[in-house]
Amino acid sequence: MDITYEDFAKLDIRVGKIMTAEDFPEARKKAYKLTIDFGPDIGMKRSSAQITEHYGKQDLMGMLVMAVVNFPPKQIGPFVSEVLTLGFADEDGNVVLAKPDKNVYLGSQLF
């Protein structure tokens, strides 16, 4: 399905820094509850992420990640996920995070 640039531009994809990663035992699939800092304009947001196969909680601390920040919040069990953390499936279907390979300002927008 083709989309227009205007369709793509509706997505607000930003860089944030993971500040906390907690186990999420109530999730149906193994996941972490993340708190991500998107800088002064957006602030701290929370996300549920099924990334436990490739990342330990300590590995995630301070990591820059990309997320869609303008989706409506989504209730996942007892947790409200405010942003969609982005990644790609590996050959086994496990998520590998999408992230910048250099330091950029928190809240920087993908364009």
Domain limits of the chain?
Answer: 12-97
**Cβ neighbour number for residue 33 with a 10 Å cutoff:** 20
Query: Alpha-carbon distance 47 to 49, whole Å?
Result: 6
> What pairs with residue 75 in β-bridges?
80
| CATH 2.40.50.140 for the 12-97 domain, yes or no | yes
Among candidates 33, 4, 17, 7, which has minimal Cα distance to 108?
17
What SS3 state is found at 3? coil
pTM score of the predicted model:
0.95
Among candidates 57, 67, 70, which has minimal Cα distance to 30?
57
Per-residue pLDDT of the chain (111 residues; tens, 9 = 90+): 899 999 999 999 999 999 999 999 999 999 999 999 999 999 999 999 999 999 999 999 999 999 999 999 999 999 999 999 999 999 999 999 999 999 999 999 998
